[in-house]
Structure formats: C-alpha cells, structure tokens
Structure 1
C-alpha cells in the first residue's frame, strides 16, 4: 500500500511541528520535513530527538538530501485486534514453505539433509542449479533461504533452511512480503505499509501475546520465530551437527584442515 506524503518546508526552528502534532497523523500519511538554509545544520540532531520522542514511529534521517521522513507504524492495538489474521498468515507461510521445499527436492531428486537442509541446498549452488522453476513457481537458492515466486500471481515466500525441517521461521521483511503478495489475503483487514518496520513490530507483539515463539537454529548465535500452534519438529544445534558430520570428516579435517562450515558455504 502507498501513503500520501505531506511535505513541510522548515526554514526556522519554530516551523517544526510539535511532537503532539506529529503523533496525531494517521498511518496512511507520511510526513516529510524539508530543511532550508542554516536550520539544515541541526537536521541530524532534530532527527535524533524525534526518534527518541516518537515511540511507535519511524524517523529516517536522509544522509544526503536535507530532509527527515516520518511515518507512524502499526500499533499494538491494531496487532492485537488482528492477531488471528497474523497467526493464520504464519501458519500458511509454514505450510507453503514446507510444500515448496519438498516439491523442489522431489523434482531435482535431492537427498535432503533433514537435520540441516542448507547443506542440501548449497549443493544446488555448486551444481549451478540454484535458479530454476518447479511447478508454477520460480525458485532461487541463496544465503540461508530458498526464495519462491509464483509465476502467475507473483506471490513470494522465502523459506528458511537452517532450522531442520522447520520451515516457518518468520523474518520481518520476508513475512510482510509474503502477506502483501498473497492474493488470498486481499483486501487486507489492516493496512500494512513498512515491510520491515511493521513486520518487526508484528512479530515482537505476536511473540508477547504467545501466538509466536522463539526457536533455536542450526547455526551458532542464531535463532528464529515461528507460530506457536504447530506440530513441533526437532532442531539440531550446531554442536549436534558438529558431532554428526564429525564422524565422517574428522580424519579429513586433521589431514587437510577441512572446515565443516566453510564446506557448507558458511564462514567460521
């Protein structure tokens, strides 16, 4: 969804809207403060003050242009009122992600590493198969995810590969892209504008409400968030994986300084 932008020219400090005035704007409107003359020298300091004073808002301090951009993010009340919608979206994300991964594994006749799917998908990168189509979807294996986009509807989903057979981890940006691109959710019950910032607030609040919960990852120092009401699967820790892989590669590591994580496409 697109916002309407209100532009205010700021030539002196007294032309700045008050914090209360800014708080009164709706989420459907964006505020752009354009600084002219000497007042621009104070722009960064003013932006930092507004960041502190405006809880629930996003204040962007432009690094080149003399402007501040301010928007109101989705509120806790709006998330609470639509919690069952966001919960269903998370369930749909998880279900579709699993279906697409298994469909791709079947098409390419891959030997899926159920403890660490990233290992299997890294093979696609080495075999130059990281981009292609499966059914009505285009896929792209990259980083810690495999992205899919429907060829007709353009629905998109990024499926995580570092949580064992748990494919429902919710990244704020990817979760919002999924919701906004899914035809079945239109019209949305609540306007969504900022794909990362709104997504982060939704995930944090849904976790507080108990609808989402944190889960461990295969990777050291990494965790995720998934819908609470689900059929739970075991997720091996990085130490468990070291033991599993170590049985087969311990001697190779000694002789050639082989590094498991580098082999899997990760740095360690």
Structure 2
C-alpha cells in the first residue's frame, strides 16, 4: 500500500493544524507543511514543539527546504493485533540468517569462530571474498553484519555476526527491510511505511509483550533483541573485544531543551474556540 501526501502551505503560524487535527490523520497519509515568507524562520521551533507534542509520530524538519514532514507511526494496538505475524517474521529471520551463514562458510571453506563469527568474516574483508554470490544469493560483508540479497526475488537480510551462533538479532531497520522485501509475506497483513521508526516501535512493543527478548552481546555492556520462542544458544563475551573492534556509539544524544512562545503552544494544543 502506498502512502499519499497532503501538502499544507502556511503564511502565518496560526494556519498550522492543531495537535488534535494532526493526530486524526491516518497512517496512510503523510503531512507536509510548507512555510512561506517569514514563517520559515520559525520552522525549527515548530518542528521541535510538534516532535515533543506528537507521541507516536515522526516529525522531520528539513534542514534546507522550508518544510516539515509528519507521519503517524504504527500503533501499539496494531502491533499487538499482529503479534503472531511479527513473531513469525522474527523466527524466519533467525532461521534464514543461520542457513545463509553456514552455506557461505561451507562454500568458502572457512574455519568458523563459533564464539565470535565476526572474527572469521573480518578476514574476508581483506580480499576479494568480501563480496560475492552463494547459491541464489549475493552477499556483502560489512561492519558487524553479512548482508544477503536474493538474486531473483530481491529479498534481503542482514545477518548479525557478533552474537556467537545466534543469528537472529533484530535491528529495527534491517528487520523492516526483511519483512518488506520477503515475497512470502505479501500482501502484508498491516501497512508498514517508516522502516526504522516503525521497526523500532515493533521491536519495543514485542519485547514488552514477551514475544521478543534481549540477549547479551559478545562485547560486555551491549545487548541485542531476538525472538523469545527459540532454541537458545550460549553467547560468550570477551572484555578485550571492546578494544579490538572499537566502541559502539551508545544511545542517541538527548535533544536540547527549547522554549516556544506561548502563542504557538496555545494554538497547536487546542482547537480554535
């Protein structure tokens, strides 16, 4: 299902839709607010305010163009209603990832480090084996993953290599790309539009429902997320790996606080009387 875009051009702040009006739009509609004239100087402040006020939405302030883009994300209720589907997707992700890794290991005749597969695959980055094909898949080893894309269907999966023999860790963006590219899931039981943000909400809610759970990383202090209903494998860690492979960037920097004039707050938070 495609998403349509509603465009609103404003010449004064009081033309901005209220929070309640924005909340009433469906997920199938993206809202674009274009700022004309002097209102463009207030674009970033308006964007910050709406980002704070619109829980469950993604608000993107364009850094160059005079516009804001707002979309409603998948809801907790929608995720709960489709929890069986997302659970099966996670199981399929894990199973396919494991199959592809071992198929590649066999083809390249690798001596797999079962405690830390990334150690084995890092060796391939030094020669022409970093990119290639195996069976009906094209593969590309990069970062902490090995990406695979089916040559015919276009299905894609990024298999994590830093959780021992656990290949089902779910990154929000990669998990969504897997679902959207898998022909076996079409037509989708629910529309999915925003790859990272929807994926993150799905993973967080499925974890809260007990369908997904956190797992330890091979580097102490880091975790991943995998489907809870699985045959569990031991994940070992080495405190020295942090020094060898570098530190991950932890979290997202807290957004700076902002002050928005009372007029805007009053205007956006309530309907005109």
With normalisation by structure 1, the TM-score equals 0.90
Gaps of 5+ in 2: 248-273
Tell whether the 8 Å contact from 2:219 to 2:242 is kept in structure 1 after alignment: no
User: How far does residue 2 in structure 1 lie from its aligned partner after superposition?
Assistant: 3.0
User: How far does residue 126 in structure 1 lie from its aligned partner after superposition?
Assistant: 1.6
User: How far does residue 267 in structure 1 lie from its aligned partner after superposition?
Assistant: 2.9
User: How far does residue 131 in structure 1 lie from its aligned partner after superposition?
Assistant: 0.2
* 1:1-268 map, 5 Å: 1-239=1-239, 242=240, 261-262=243-244, 266-267=245-246
RMSD: 1.3
CA deviation vs aligned residue, 1:80-126 (integer Å, no higher than 9, x gap): 00000000000000000000000000000000000000001001112
Whole-Å separation in 2 of the counterparts to 1:267 and 1:79: 35
Change (3 A) 1:261 1:195: same
2:195 match: secondary structure:
coil
CA deviation vs aligned residue, 1:210-260 (integer Å, no higher than 9, x gap): 000000111233210000000000000123xx4xxxxxxxxxxxxxxxx99
User: How far does residue 261 in structure 1 lie from its aligned partner after superposition?
Assistant: 4.9
Tell whether the 8 Å contact from 2:59 to 2:70 is kept in structure 1 after alignment: yes
1:113 match: secondary structure:
coil
With normalisation by structure 2, the TM-score equals 0.88
Whole-Å separation in 2 of the counterparts to 1:34 and 1:2: 22
Whole-Å separation in 1 of the counterparts to 2:150 and 2:243: 32
Whole-Å separation in 2 of the counterparts to 1:238 and 1:203: 27
User: How far does residue 14 in structure 1 lie from its aligned partner after superposition?
Assistant: 1.5
Whole-Å separation in 2 of the counterparts to 1:67 and 1:158: 33
Number of positions where the alignment pairs a residue of Structure 1 with one of Structure 2: 247
- More relative contact order, 1 or 2 (CA 8 Å, 6+ apart): 2
CA deviation vs aligned residue, 1:7-54 (integer Å, no higher than 9, x gap): 000100111101110000000000000000111111111111111111
Whole-Å separation in 1 of the counterparts to 2:34 and 2:184: 39
